[in-house]
């Protein structure tokens, strides 16, 4: 085996162990600190105040940002149809019947903190 092959194998092992640690950390955090998107929510904008040094907040801060609900977004056509129904039922304003509108809404929550 060449030096390059040995290096590649070692790099792969290192990346694999990092990926496993990240996955374990995410699963632990989701389980212990309930960072899970409500199954009925299309998207969530999570922000944690980093000035709060509570250990739970420090862990949660790693996962802040915008999350689109992967369960709902598996079928794009169903999502867009649902959004149209919500706008027609006046649950959302006119023009908010797109996935972009959902993302923009959550992004605006992120801007609120600045």
Classify residue 109 as exposed, middle or buried by CB count within 10 Å of its CB (0-12, 13-18, 19+).
middle
31 HSE (CA, 13 A, CB side): 6
Q: What is the pLDDT along the chain (114 residues), one digit of tens a residue?
A: 666 555 666 665 665 666 566 556 666 666 655 566 677 888 888 887 777 777 777 777 777 888 888 888 888 899 999 999 999 999 989 999 999 999 999 999 889 877
What is the pTM for the complete model shown?
0.60
């Amino acid at each position: 085996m060449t030096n390059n092959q040995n290096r590649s194998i070692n790099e792969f092992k290192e990346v694999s162990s990092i990926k496993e640690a990240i996955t374990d950390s995410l699963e632990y955090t989701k389980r212990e600190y309930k960072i899970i998107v409500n199954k009925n929510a299309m998207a969530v904008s999570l922000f944690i105040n980093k000035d709060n040094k509570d250990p739970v907040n420090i862990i949660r801060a790693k996962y802040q940002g915008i999350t689109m609900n992967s369960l709902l977004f598996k079928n794009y056509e169903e999502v867009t149809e649902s959004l149209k129904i919500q706008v027609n039922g006046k649950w959302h304003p006119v023009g908010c019947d797109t996935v972009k509108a959902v993302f923009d809404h959550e992004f605006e929550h992120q801007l609120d903190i600045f």
